[in-house]
Amino acid sequence: MHEIRWNPLIKQWVIVAAHRAVRPWRPDEKQERFMCPFCPGAPELRDLDKWDVVVLPNKYPALISNPPPVELEKMSLLLKREARGGAEVVVETPEHQGDLCTLTLDHAKKVVEAYKNEVEKLSKAEYVEYVAVFRNKGKEIGVSLTHPHSQIYALPFIPPRIKAEIDAMEEYRRKNGTCMICDVSRYEIEEGKRIIYINDEFVSLIPFYAMWPYEIHIYPIKHVRSLRELSDKQVLYLADALRVVTATYNSLLERDAPYIMVLHDHPVKGDYEYHFHVEFYQPYRDKEKLKYAAGIEWGYWVFTYDGVPEERALELRKACREALPSLGEVLGRCL
């Protein structure tokens, strides 16, 4: 069973990929390094010479370029389509342990360049509507392999979260004649109370409208619609911001911190009002307690924020200042 099904209640596509149920799950610590498919010498990497960052096809892809045909349901309301798309893994380093913040700035830049190059490549397929770049880290998030890596999905539809952002940004442009995120960034930089870190190209902050306790967004200060439009300097400064945010989480929780990182990008087709940005979701509400999404969140999509964003920002600023010395070269400052 490998197909995409339409949920008519919320007008959203759902990927059905039965084969992913058998993918490996966090092997025993003693065996993990030996079994890791992303370490040098693994079958997938055996033919490669020395490397820093490498992109591999996902062994358990949710979407593929040549999917099996689907058998349509007799009821017209129950729509389905072929699971056509792509799924890749960006292996960020040969080292088995680590994070974006344990890479040098130049190495982290190579990771962002890999994101950009793969988005440009996958965008050329006629069946791709959106390329999603994301990073899951930690057992709390459900990560099956600990070797530092990100993922890229080439989707045959625009995700509903992105569609909602496009609708909101286009409405704001019609009413105000300006970009929503440009205006938010400008205001936050002037106010300063929710900013965590800033460099010449990006501002990292807890948004006024945060849903997760330690949620952080990274906004380009200059208007840019897509990862594909970033200049070489902006790629470097984005890598800098990603290193600082991940180091800040480690400092805050005083351990190797879990999180979800999601790049929100302009669709690969069409011409929409949009502003590229990165969102981080942190599952902890303090050093020991998880923030669980439960009935009100899952059942109604209504988040309850545990705390006050401005107070969380003060905690993250302190953690950011404590984290900077461990990073070596940085391009901005914590507030």
Tens of pLDDT, residues 233-289: 999 999 999 999 999 999 999 999 999 999 999 999 999 999 999 999 999 999 999
> What is the pLDDT averaged over residues 309-318?
98
| 265 lies in some domain | yes
| Nearest alpha-carbon partner for 235 in 195, 263, 207, 268 | 263
> What is the pLDDT averaged over residues 86-97?
96
- Please give the C-alpha separations between residue 210 and each of 154, 163, 193, 224, 251, in angstroms, as whole numbers: 27, 19, 14, 22, 20
Question: Residue 235's pLDDT is what?
Answer: 98
Residues designated catalytic: 149
| 11 lies in some domain | no
- 36-57 pLDDT tens trace: 889 998 888 988 888 999 999 9
Sheet holding 12-17, edge to edge: 12-17, 2-7, 80-82
Q: Which residues form the domain of 196?
A: 24-59+85-334
> What is the pLDDT averaged over residues 11-24?
86
Q: Give the domain CATH number at 90.
A: 3.30.428.10
| 186 lies in some domain | yes
| 219 lies in some domain | yes
- For residue 5, pLDDT over 90 is answered with yes
Q: What is the C-alpha to C-alpha distance for residues 53 and 315, in angstroms, rounded to an integer?
A: 33
| 67 lies in some domain | no
For residue 203, the cross-strand partners are: 198, 219
| 198 lies in some domain | yes
- 138-177 pLDDT tens trace: 999 989 889 999 999 999 999 999 999 999 999 999 999 9
- Please give the C-alpha separations between residue 123 and each of 79, 168, 335, in angstroms, as whole numbers: 25, 24, 37
Q: How far is CA 270 from the centre of its chain?
A: 22
| 172 lies in some domain | yes
Identify the band that residue 179 occupies on the pLDDT scale cut at 50, 70 and 90. Answer: very high
Identify the band that residue 27 occupies on the pLDDT scale cut at 50, 70 and 90. Answer: low
Q: Of the ranges 12-16, 138-142, 201-205, 279-283, which one carries the lowest mean pLDDT score?
A: 138-142
Cβ(168)–Cβ(180) under 8 Å?
yes
Average pLDDT, the chain: 95
> What is the pLDDT averaged over residues 182-210?
98
> What is the pLDDT averaged over residues 124-141?
96
59 by DSSP, 3-state: which?
A: coil
% of the chain exceeding 90 in pLDDT? 89
- For residue 30, pLDDT over 80 is answered with no
Question: Residue 49's pLDDT is what?
Answer: 81
The conformational region for residue 149 under phi > 0 = left, psi -120 to 50 = alpha, else beta, is beta
Question: Residue 208's pLDDT is what?
Answer: 98
For residue 86, the cross-strand partners are: 154
Q: What is the C-alpha to C-alpha distance for residues 332 and 275, in angstroms, rounded to an integer?
A: 21
| 42 lies in some domain | yes
The angle that helices 105-122 and 232-253 make with each other, rounded to 10 degrees, is: 120
Identify the band that residue 31 occupies on the pLDDT scale cut at 50, 70 and 90. Answer: low
Residue 60 identity:
Y
Burial of 111 (C-beta count, 10 Å sphere; 0-12/13-18/19+):
buried
Enter the tokens of residue 248: 């800040």
Tell me how many domains the chain contains. Answer: 1
